[in-house]
Amino acid sequence: MVASAYTLSAKVLICGANGQVGHALAELLEKAPGIEAVPMSRRQLDITSTDAVYKQLEKHLPDYVINCAGFNRVDAAERQPDQAMAVNRDGPALLAAACAALSIPLIHLSSDYVFDGHYASGYSEDDEPAPLGVFGRSKWEGEEQIRQHQPQHLILRVSWIFSARGHNYLLRILEQARQQAVIDAADDRRGCPTSADDVARVLLAMLRQLTCGIDVWGTYHYCGAEITTRYGFSEAILAAVRQYEELKVESLRAVATADMHPLVERPASSVLKCRKLLSTFGIRQRPWRSELQRVIPDIYGE
Ligand SMILES: NC(=O)c1ccc[n+]([C@@H]2O[C@H](COP(=O)([O-])OP(=O)(O)OC[C@H]3O[C@@H](n4cnc5c(N)ncnc54)[C@H](OP(=O)(O)O)[C@@H]3O)[C@@H](O)[C@H]2O)c1
């Protein structure tokens, strides 16, 4: 068979492969021609363990490592700062140092929470990070560790991830909609929901271009197309889910984020500008509404 210009030949090790993005990425890469995916759960590769990191990287000698592992519980990070820092800062530092030692490029996922959320119009890669709490700080410091240890890196900041598995806003709203007549949803937080499958698509597209040997290392933003609020996202979720089951919920109540999450401030704007990803890689944003229509049937096993 004649290889197309986009045929990729690479072994890709995925950390955190049981998470939303890690799982979606493993599924996608396993179907991608020319790619050998090596998905690693936390049990197989704890990114905070020096022994485990070197053992697995030296055993598999991948062409790329993609780190999808993370401590993502924002309130829990305030109560367990050491654990959050260990997974989100020290783990990436360790991975970056090991990757540099073995000449393996590292691709890492970060978050809109590195910003304070004051720019309603959104954040570009040049904007100054100013995290509001432990979680955001741990993600920012993890990024900095990677920049320091492994110049051959891609950091992809993403936001508001949803999928049919794991812990996410979509599944939380669905759970509440089955049990409560009224659901609270913040109408003062803006962002762009992003499906885990869509992030996996973007990571694969980036990987393909890395193999062309062009110098594209650095930090990029990606999120689904169309800005909404938590309230707007909740409305869309309920409308989509009602096609599949009868729900107890009768109405959504618009509330302030601060009333829902008193422990730690959330960014009012999580909007990420994605122009750099488009101009460098030619990757366009996909509308989150169409992704939602695709993900909901997965919840019902269709
Ligand atoms: N979720 C969002 O809305 C969101 C938004 C912005 C950025 N991000 C970033 O995107 C990335 C992927 O997010 P996600 O939603 O897919 O995360 P997720 O569903 O919470 O999955 C994270 C995975 O990391 C694993 N993990 C935790 N500690 C680990 C360790 N020490 N070593 C190895 N694996 C470990 C977890 O294992 P267990 O299953 O055993 O717990 C879990 O499978 C993360 O970097 C996250 O910060 C997420």
pLDDT tens digits, residue range 206-236?
999 987 777 899 999 999 999 999 999 999 9
Alpha-carbon distance of 293 to 302, in angstroms, equals: 12
Whether residue 27 lies inside any domain: the answer is yes
Determine the pLDDT at residue 136: 98
Whether residue 250 lies inside any domain: the answer is no
Whether residue 58 lies inside any domain: the answer is yes
Per-residue model confidence as pLDDT tens digits over 27-38: 999 999 999 999
Whether residue 136 lies inside any domain: the answer is yes
Determine the pLDDT at residue 1: 39
Of all residues in the chain, the percent with pLDDT exceeding 90 is 91
Confidence class for position 67, pLDDT limits 50, 70, 90? very high
Whether residue 202 lies inside any domain: the answer is yes
Alpha-carbon distance of 87 to 109, in angstroms, equals: 12
Determine the pLDDT at residue 212: 78
Number of residues that this document lists for the chain: 302
Determine the pLDDT at residue 263: 85
**Ligand 1 centroid vs 69 CA: distance in angstroms?**
4
Which one, of 262, 237, 257, lies nearest residue 173 by Cα? Answer: 237
Whether residue 42 lies inside any domain: the answer is yes
Average pLDDT, the chain: 95
Question: Side-chain half-sphere of 165: how many Cα atoms within 13 Å?
Answer: 12
pLDDT value at 261 more than 70: yes
* Pairwise pLDDT comparison (227 vs 263), residue with the higher score: 227
pLDDT value at 4 more than 90: no
Determine the pLDDT at residue 6: 53
Nearest atom in ligand 1 to 167's CA: 19
Overall number of domains in the chain: 1
Domain coverage including residue 56: 10-167+194-226+271-287
117 lines ligand 1 (CB under 6 A): no
Token pair of 169 as six digits: 């806003």
pLDDT value at 190 more than 90: yes
CA dihedral 174, 175, 176, 178 (to 10 degrees): 80
pLDDT value at 271 more than 90: yes
Whether residue 95 lies inside any domain: the answer is yes
Per-residue model confidence as pLDDT tens digits over 79-108: 999 999 999 999 999 999 999 999 999 999
Nearest atom in ligand 1 to 199's CA: 10
Q: What CATH number corresponds to the domain at position 160?
A: 3.40.50.720
Per-residue pLDDT, averaged over 56-72, amounts to: 98
**Ligand 1 centroid vs 20 CA: distance in angstroms?**
7
72 lines ligand 1 (CB under 6 A): yes
15 lines ligand 1 (CB under 6 A): yes
Amino acid symbol at 264 = V
Per-residue pLDDT, averaged over 197-207, amounts to: 97
Whether residue 235 lies inside any domain: the answer is no
Closest residue by Cα to atom 30, ligand 1, is 46
Q: For a substitution probing ligand 1, which of 68, 154, 199, 202 has the most ligand atoms within 8 Å of its CB? A: 68
